[in-house]
Amino acid sequence: MHIIIGGTGQVGSAAAAALLEAGESVTIVTRDSDKATAWRQRGAEAAVLDIHDAPALQAVLRHGRRLLIVNPTADPTANDTDAAELQSIRAILAAVDGAGLERIVAASTYGAQPGSSIGDLGTLYALEQGLARLPAPSVIQRGAYYMSNWAMAVEPAREQGILPSFFPAGFSLPMVAPADVGRSAAELMLSSHPESLRYVEGPDRYSPADVAEAFSRVLQHPVAVASVEADTLESTFLSFGFSPAAARSYSGMTRRAMETPPPDESSVWKGTVSLDVFVAALLQR
């Protein structure tokens, strides 16, 4: 039995679908009963619970052999996102410890590193380090910048011909479609290879300028990058309604991401979803 924490998001859903297609048994952990019903209709099992209830989560994990962890993203408008996500991680680690799992795959991110107020770079690094201290073998999958982050640009690109970006137009930013991250995770769940770290990105490396060109081709009108200045990142996130702590964290994460070089491309697992294909699908929604 494969168990997925975070199985109702884009990455977890893609992993679950791939495992089900391979004829594997899958349990989705969710606190949403409607989403649980939808997954049961697709052939999966579902456990409805709050992952902060570590004893209840561990009881579910004891029925599985392999686990995929996609830590839930906290709402930046209502929370200190770092504190909320670390709370989830502590509960998950407590449940995993002693659950008797034979393999764990954890979704992390490019640039994961120690630090505070650097968003996922810091919180997912804490997840990586916590799993390293547990006896069950774990595989860390670090994904590049999700192409789905550009969903926020759909309206301004369509209506105003601009692509808001937190990065300079020409900045090389490895990107990946969440579906590719999920498919890679499913592959790791099925594998017996003693791989401990995998980097995942799309078939090519891109920049915000490439994203703007992809939007231009689909929309059939010019789209130009409008980059946020580095010294206004925090105020920009505040203008979106982010909490002060979340604004600090997201701006810190963005700055640190620009300072951290990506892995050597030759060592990366390459997905198949190109930027053009992803943007075309995004704009058709």
pLDDT in tens, 23-81: 999 999 999 999 999 999 999 999 999 999 999 999 999 999 999 999 999 999 988 99
- For the residues 132-140, what does the mean pLDDT come to? 94
pLDDT over 90 at 220, yes or no:
yes
Grade residue 241 by pLDDT with cuts at 50, 70 and 90.
very high
Give rounded-to-5 percent helix, strand, coil for the chain.
50, 20, 35
pLDDT over 90 at 120, yes or no:
yes
Backbone φ and ψ for 199, nearest 5 degrees, come out as -100, 135
Percent of the chain with pLDDT over 70: 100
Between CA 136 and CA 102 the distance in angstroms is 6
Q: What is the pLDDT of residue 45?
A: 95
Write out the E strands in the chain: 2-5, 26-30, 45-48, 66-69, 103-109, 138-143, 145-146, 162-165, 175-176, 197-201, 224-227, 268-270
- The mean pLDDT of the chain is 95
Q: What is the pLDDT of residue 192?
A: 84
Grade residue 237 by pLDDT with cuts at 50, 70 and 90.
very high
CATH 2.130.10.10 fits 2-145+178-202+263-272, yes or no: no
Residue 66: closest CA among 180, 187, 178, 179: 187
Give the model confidence (pLDDT) of 221-233 as tens digits.
Answer: 999 999 999 999 9
Q: How many CA atoms lie within 13 A of 56 on its CB side?
A: 10
Annotated domain spans of the chain: 2-145+178-202+263-272
Residue 104: closest CA among 114, 92, 86, 112: 92
Q: What is the pLDDT of residue 272?
A: 97
Between CA 114 and CA 20 the distance in angstroms is 35
pLDDT over 90 at 194, yes or no:
no
Place of tokens 């649980």: 36
Q: What angle do CA 86, 88, 90 make, to 5 degrees?
A: 70
Q: What angle do CA 277, 282, 285 make, to 5 degrees?
A: 130
